[in-house]
Amino acid sequence: MARTSAYQLQIGTDSDDANARILLADGALVAVLVELSDEGHGEDRGKWTIEATFGLRHERVPDIFPSLESAADWVSEHICEQRFNLGADVVRLA
């Protein structure tokens, strides 16, 4: 089983989508998740996207997830087979 951890940080996307989480499994970065905050996203505002994945082999990554938890669950299911704790343990990097 992978040891997972999550960090909160700001990300530069050339838009107002700045609130991000990076997910690590056994100390290695596996995914970057970003909240869709820019008003250009219309009704998708507040939902989350998986901006980047590392180590994913086959799957097509869905574009948009209804919540941070559902995006992280997708990463668990397809990359590291271990759930992420996204609550109080998340370390703020910025």
Partner 1 sequence: MTNPSTAKLAPEPLGGENPLIKKLGRYVPLTEEERAALNTLSCSTRKHNQGADLIAEGDRPECVFLMMEGWAFRYKQLEDGSRQIMAYLIPGDLCDIQIFLFDKMDHSIGLLSDAKVVKIPSGDLLKMMDRYPRIERALLWATLVDEATLREWLLNVGQRSALQRLAHLFCELCVRLSVVGLVDDDETFALPLTQAELADTTGMTAVHVNRSLQRLRRDKLISTQRGKLTILNFDRLAEVAGFDESYLHTDGPPVEQKLRSRLDRHM
Provide the binding-site residues for partner 1, judged by CB under 8 A: 13-15, 17, 36, 38, 40-41, 49, 59-60, 63-64
Task: Look at phi and psi of residue 14 and say left if phi exceeds 0, alpha if psi is from -120 to 50, else beta.
Answer: left
CB of 1 to partner 1, least distance (A): 27
Min CB(36)–partner 1 separation in Å: 7
* Residue (15 or 85) nearer to partner 1, CB: 15
Residue pair 8/20 in contact (Cβ under 8 Å)? The answer is: yes
- Nearer to partner 1 by C-beta: 60 or 92? 60
In the complex, the smallest distance separating the C-beta of residue 91 from partner 1, rounded to whole angstroms, is 25
